[in-house]
Amino acid sequence: MANKLSLLCVSGMWERIQMAAMVAATAAATGMEVTVFLSMNALGYFIKDDARKAPAEGEMGRLMAGKNVPPFRQLFEQAKDLGGARLYACSMAMDVLEVEEDRLEAYIDGPMGLTRFLTDASDGQILVF
């Protein structure tokens, strides 16, 4: 099994982003090399001062909302702090959303193109959320 995990996070639904964050934090904490690529509907939740809550997709999301579950933003930060995960914003999605790099959350490592992400991820496992 490869010790390299790349997560392609494109959904804007809470459960999917939450699972991506849980996987990233757990994998990083166990020593895996983790890269997260935030694009499409997921990217908007990683812009400074964006306090929107991702909508729940189903019953599990609604149930977890009432529990003491660490929010996905916090889990992504932990993945970075505890295990050195790298988080990148899709440069194309940034262009479409008209988001400049300085508007990204501080824990985002910057923009990256999809070609670079796929090239870097080619020798490991890719999961899509």
Q: Which CATH class is domain 4-128?
A: alpha beta
Whole-model pTM? Answer: 0.92
Distance CA 118, CA 9 (A): 13
Distance CA 88, CA 105 (A): 11
The tens digit of pLDDT for each residue in 7-33 reads 999 999 999 999 999 999 999 999 999
Domain boundaries defined on the chain: 4-128
What the block records as the tokens of 83 is 């295990």
The tens digit of pLDDT for each residue in 52-79 reads 889 988 888 778 877 888 999 999 999 9
For the range 22-26, what are the long-range contacts, defined as Cβ-Cβ under 8 Å and sequence gap of 24 or more?
22/75, 23/127, 24/75, 24/76, 24/79, 24/85, 25/75, 25/76, 25/78, 25/79, 25/82, 25/83, 25/85
34-55: average pLDDT: 94
At 74 the pLDDT is 94
**By the 8 A CB rule, do 111 and 59 touch?**
no
67 against 37, higher pLDDT: 37
Strand order of the β-sheet with 33-38 is 111-112, 86-90, 33-38, 4-9, 125-128
At 2 the pLDDT is 66
Extended strands (E) in 1-129 = 4-9, 33-38, 86-90, 111-112, 125-128
